[in-house]
A and B are shown apart, each in its own frame.
Chain A
Amino acid sequence: MTIVVVGAGPAGVNAAVTAARAGKDVLLIDSAARIGGQYHRQSFRAKEIRVAHERVRHLPDTTVWAIEDNRLHLTGSRVVTAEKLILATGAYDRTLPFPGWDLPGVYTAGAAQAMAKGQGIALGRNVIVAGTGPFLLPVASSLLDVGAKVRVFEANSPSHRWLREPTALFAGRRKLLELTRYAKVARHYRERTAVIAAHGDDRVREVTVAELDDNWNPLRQKRIAVDAVCVGYGFVPQLELAIAAGCRLSDGFVAVDEQQRTSVPWIFAAGEITGVGGADLAADEGVIAGAAAAGVQLGLTVDRRFADALTRVYAVKDGWKSWLTDDTIICRCERVTRHRLQEATGRGATATRAVKLASRAGLGPCQGRICGATVADLLDLDPTTFARRPIATPIPLGDLAANPVEEQ
């Protein structure tokens, strides 16, 4: 019997190594070819990370597409039985829609970072990074490193807002020092500003940039020329496996105790699916989860004060809804406009399933990963209802039909 860790980012890798050091056999499953997850994927530091423990077996390019009791169904018609399961599935970029966000040349901040750091390619010569959160800074920094002209628009006003979080500031002082790495971004950086529309026929040529009030309602606006826009409004936790396994959620994340135990006794969770807090916190949670799954008490707890303050300082404010027009695309996969979504609610659809089927939002290949949070916000629905995906990732019907092979 094995401890299975799903996700090889900072949380999963630390969980795997900790459990292995405690004498357990660990299977570390990740959808990417190399370990590191979203955080290290884009970084040259990925080379430095090794899971150098003989008891950890790394299963790359593998996705868990279903959980059935303690049986995990893997892509490639494989199945594995887990004694203990540690979910470290992480989070992905959140984007907000605005008129023109579906034009070529508009990217997620994560995609821009991957191109710049991973391949040394800037997405344009004249790039705007817009959104909210500290992640905008490394993205901008990477783009500057590869020679792009960069402007950063942070929709919140963290420089003022942090002053109301003295405890969290102290708790996160090490993290804040790290931000000095991005000092070169400072003179290209503006707060209370957002890209509220993108313009162009074949691709983005110009954007409308607006000063925002506290609630993100646009004040003064102007149009400026750009080649590319990178948008990041925080992160959405990847919850489908936790939901399929029956783990209790709390405030949109997997609920865990101090030992990273979920409500399902044999399942642990670590990293961004338990609350977005960055790579260091995720790594610490991974250590605790790995130890707890192996039955070892470390006596460690994580300090979530800084992470909790991050969600307050960089909260998404309702004013973004005023950026939309009737024909703004909400769901890119199915090209569902706001008008179509309103038509669905006009028919009386209120429950998530009915809204999806009446509007087709969230029914395309991404299964609501991109638009789920948006639709939930617009219609006041629980965003985690969009993460119910019993089939967590698309698989060929032929693979589903085949007799699965037991992964040892």
Chain B
Amino acid sequence: MHVVVVGAGVIGAACAEALSAAGATVTVVDRSGPAAGTTGAGEGNVLVSDKEPGPELELAQAARRQLPELLAKLADELGPELSDVEWQPKGGLVVATTDPRPLRDFAERQRTAGVTAHEITPEQAFELEPNLTREITTAVHYPEDGQVQPVLLATTLLSAVRQRGGRLLSGVTATGATKSALVTDSGTIACDHIVNACGPWAGDFASKLGAPLPVLPRRGLILVTTPVADLVRHKVYDADYVGAVASGDADLQTSTVVESTPAGTVLIGSSRQRVGFDETIQVDVLRELARKAIRLFPRLAGVNVMRAYGGFRPYTPDHLPVVGADPRVPGLWHATGHEGAGIGLAVATGRLLAELMTGQEPHVDPKPFRVDRPGLAA
């Protein structure tokens, strides 16, 4: 079985890895190269804390279980350098600065779905994060939350694909398909299946194949500071994070996510805005991010912000990913629509897609992610 995966972001890479592990011959094509789009503009969140009980949380929990196992397996296969993705299972801390009840209720619902969510006192939160604002009303510690460096994760997965004989074709643009081949600007590639892992451009690619898909870009911006020692230890969020992720409003939304990286920089996210593929920077958005981050960590006011980067996240009307076969076009599969959670959902998405394609028992319920579900109807 020969599968062509279109898109070398983390989702395409994870699908390609899982398919090659299942014995398929895999070719990955990307017009720019690995992690050049959405993945390269991501924070690297591997989160369960921000998700309501439901299909996305189930996928996230599955991915969270699989990721360390997969990384250990790839370390054997690729060696320590190529398998290093800066995986940090450092845990997340969600804090409320106003009414504590919504966060408490949310955590309670998550616990019933199997998420480890410890409600802790402000004093305990200050022990975990000494520089945190004193103006918090409650906090929930999520030990399962973690972080990877997204470009490293994508390229590690693709390295495994190539090690197993698969191909990575960078600078090749997919333009269409025939019954038995992908058509690109550098010739056709005969294959049995095509996986659309084009992220925010997945709708565009699907249209070319005669199977429109309501995937739209949502802009996200992240600020990066100069390196500072030990200012932030976990992934720390304002409790309003959840509301922003689930909303479909075009208006700007920001909710604070503050975390440090192994390089010592502090990442401050994130905003969500439907502005099409507009890349221009908006200072108001940056200012809002800065204000909210300083509210959580007052010491950040004196730290320099060194760069801002933006990316486009693929979102669907019902905010669920699309994973599975497209009944309209035989041989076409989709793996997209993960919005800002793609890094954390990638490995389970890849595994689910491979299971569906090879006829194995799926490890999570695939129905909510079907392309012909009502939630995707316009």
Q: Which residues of A are interface residues toward B (Cβ below 8 A)? A: 66, 68, 71, 73, 244, 246, 334, 343-344, 346-351, 353-354, 357-358, 360, 363, 365, 367, 389-391, 394-398, 400-401
Contacts and interface: CB of A to CB of B under 8 A. Distances in A.
Interface stretch (B132-140, B269-277, B303-311, B350-358): B303-311
B192 to A, nearest CB: 24
A401 B309 CA distance: 17
A394 B171 CA distance: 33
B81 interface: yes
Contact of B281 (A244, A347, A394): A244
Given A358-B155, A365-B226, A397 B33 contact: no
Given A358-B155, A397-B294, A66 B305 contact: no
B225 interface: yes
Given A365-B226, A397-B225, A360 B305 contact: no
A351, A358, A397 — most chain B CB neighbours (10 Å): A397
Nearest to B39: A354
Interface in B297-324: 300-310
B82 interface: yes
Given A68-B280, A351-B35, A396-B304, 4 more contacts: A347-B158, A348-B34, A350-B32, A391-B281
Contacts of A367: 306-307
B256 interface: no
Contact of A68 (B158, B281, B290): B281
Given A68-B283, A401-B291, A357 B149 contact: yes
B256 to A, nearest CB: 12
Contacts, number: 128
B159 A351 contact: no
A312 B280 CA distance: 35
Given A68-B283, A357-B149, A350 B303 contact: no
A398 B155 contact: no
Given A396-B301, A397-B294, A401-B294, A350 B34 contact: yes
A401 B155 contact: no
B156 interface: yes
Contact of A343 (B81, B171, B280, B302): B81
A397 B301 contact: yes
Contact of B307 (A349, A350, A389): A389
Interface string B152-169: 100110110010000010
13 contacts: A68-B283, A347-B155, A347-B156, A349-B151, A353-B41, A354-B34, A358-B35, A360-B263, A391-B306, A394-B306, A396-B305, A397-B301, A400-B287
Contacts of A397: 223, 225, 268, 290, 293-294, 300-305
Contact of A394 (B82, B162, B226): B226
Given A66-B283, A73-B283, A363-B263, A348 B155 contact: yes
B300 A391 contact: no
Interface string B125-143: 0000000000000000000
A349 B34 contact: yes
B248 to A, nearest CB: 26
A400 B34 contact: no
Contacts of A353: 35-36, 40-41, 151
Contacts of A401: 287, 290-291, 294, 301
B306 A351 contact: no
B338 to A, nearest CB: 19
A358 B151 contact: yes
B186 interface: no
A396 B307 contact: no
A400 B268 CA distance: 13
A360 B294 CA distance: 26
B112 interface: no
B21 interface: no
A357 B40 contact: yes
A344 B156 CA distance: 10
Given A394-B306, A397-B304, A349 B155 contact: yes
Contacts of A351: 32-36, 40
Nearest to B33: A350
Contacts of B82: 343, 346-347
A354 B35 contact: yes
Contacts of A357: 35, 40, 149-152
Contacts of A344: 155
B282 interface: yes
B78 to A, nearest CB: 10
Given A360-B263, A397-B293, A390 B155 contact: no
B151 A354 contact: yes
Contact of B158 (A334, A343, A348, A391): A348
B33, B81, B293 — most chain A CB neighbours (10 Å): B33
A266 to B, nearest CB: 16
Contacts of B171: 350
B40, B149, B225, B300 — most chain A CB neighbours (10 Å): B40
Contact of A391 (B150, B170, B280, B307): B307
A354 B304 contact: no
B303 A354 contact: no
Contacts of B40: 351, 353-354, 357
B99 to A, nearest CB: 24
B286 interface: yes
Nearest to A73: B283
B162 A348 contact: yes
Contacts of A246: 280
B321 to A, nearest CB: 23
Contact of B308 (A347, A363, A390, A398): A390
A68, A354, A363, A365 — most chain B CB neighbours (10 Å): A354
B282 A348 contact: no
A158 to B, nearest CB: 37
B162 A396 contact: no
A50 B355 CA distance: 74
Contacts of B81: 343
A244 B283 CA distance: 12
B175 to A, nearest CB: 20
Nearest to A245: B280
A387 to B, nearest CB: 12
B45 to A, nearest CB: 15
A221 B205 CA distance: 56
Contacts of B306: 365, 367, 391, 394
Contacts of A390: 281, 307-310
